[in-house]
Structure 1
Amino acid sequence: MTVFQSRPTRYLIQEKHLSLDNRFTITDDAGNIHYKVHSLFFAMGDKLIISDANGNELMKIRQDSLHFHLTYKLISTHSGATARQIASIKRTGPLWQHKLEIDSSNGKYILQKQGGVSSDDFTLTKDDVTIAVVARDASPMKNLYWVDIIDSKEQDHTFILAIVIVLSCAQRLPVNPISKPQVNAPKTD
């Protein structure tokens, strides 16, 4: 059990399985929408765009198909700034472990499952310090992720929530053709 020094900021990420383009909605614990995540329709691999509640694009998530391990790139696209890659996320270890290693412009992070194989609890750490705690609740129609981010002005909430979205993408079964890297897929951004 993780004990926080101050009250964490809580978000709820809802993934909709049957939606054509609005794949995720991110709200606070009061139900206010903070972010929306759209996917590119008929894209090979995962190509997602994170926007704020007003539709302003903030970040892109791109599955990188040229790696042995499932790998994603996070690209900052805040309005008025040049798009730049801010992180590379790689799934490592056995499939049931769901461990992500994140190399970012702000340092190295690790998101990994806590508890046994059937556990749906994860922690995000940087330099062995817990940054966020994630709990997953799955249903047939959608996945829910409760994300508690430790309150600190140093934490980039959009970045942390993007990591949890990558976790959701990486948790798909490998038999799903959408989750497999597409070697011959054309490059698009």
Structure 2
Amino acid sequence: MYLIREKIFDIGDDFDITDDSGNKVFHVDGKVLSLRDKLVIEDPSGREVAAVHRKLIALRPTYAISIGGQEAAEMRKKLFTPFRDKYTIDVPGPDDLEMKGDLLDHEYEVELGGSRVAQVSKKWFTIRDTYAVDVAPGQNDLLILAGVLALDLAESRAERKRAEDAARDQDR
């Protein structure tokens, strides 16, 4: 199991991914003022192992995931999914992952061919926002973690847009 804890007051949205014992597994470097909502995932020695960034030319929220400098997947939100969020983590070949969940409860499942390969739970603590990510043995942990980060970027961006729209409507 992994824990992704965002440091609320850290400039640039940098945070760590730890195992359930609290040991740092990855560091996530949020690129300040990035138009593309870019995150770089580093191993404990500071070497980049993966990256996530928003694709600028896309009709729906789309994020590219690279691992080891190579494009590994593209995550896209499905357009019409009433009452549930659904995302596809499109990997080359037939093994696409589906991420399904409830935006209000912050609970998601990652499936491969209809079988659950990871469980994602977003829990609110006193001042921190935390995801618990439980990945089944034999799965690509880094790809699933990058998918969760892309999900968080997409949801945060949608939340900011909703807030801006509400403020604009209120000014009218």
TM-score range, shorter chain: 0.7 to 0.9
User: Does residue 113 of structure 1 match 2:107?
Assistant: no
Match of 2:146 among 140, 159, 162: 162
Residue 61 of structure 1 and its aligned partner are, at CA, apart by 0.6
Residue 98 of structure 1 and its aligned partner are, at CA, apart by 2.6
* Higher helix residue share: 2
Structure 1, 21-30 or 159-168: larger mean CA deviation: 21-30
TM-score by length of 2: 0.83
Q: 1:46 to 1:140 in 2, by over 3 A?
A: farther
User: Does residue 127 of structure 1 match 2:82?
Assistant: no
Specify the alignment match of 1:7 in structure 2.
none
Q: Which has the higher contact order (CA 8 A, sep 6+)?
A: 1
Specify the alignment match of 2:169 in structure 1.
none
Match of 2:129 among 119, 143, 162: 143
Specify the alignment match of 1:185 in structure 2.
none
Q: 1:25 to 1:14 in 2, by over 3 A?
A: same
Q: Distance in 2 between matches of 1:100 and 1:15?
A: 22
TM-score by length of 1: 0.76
Q: Distance in 2 between matches of 1:120 and 1:174?
A: 14
Letter in 1 for 2:90: D
Match of 1:55 among 46, 52, 58: 46
Q: 1:75 to 1:36 in 2, by over 3 A?
A: same
User: Does residue 12 of structure 1 match 2:12?
Assistant: no
Contact 1:59 1:74 in 2 (8 A): yes
Q: Which aligned segments of 4 or more residues in structure 1 are displaced greater than 3 angstroms?
A: 93-96
Written as runs of structure 1 = structure 2, the 5 A alignment for 1:39-54 is 39-54=30-45
Q: 1:44 to 1:95 in 2, by over 3 A?
A: farther
Contact 1:18 1:141 in 2 (8 A): no
Structure 1 unmatched ranges of 5 or more: 1-9, 78-82, 181-189
Q: Distance in 2 between matches of 1:159 and 1:48?
A: 13
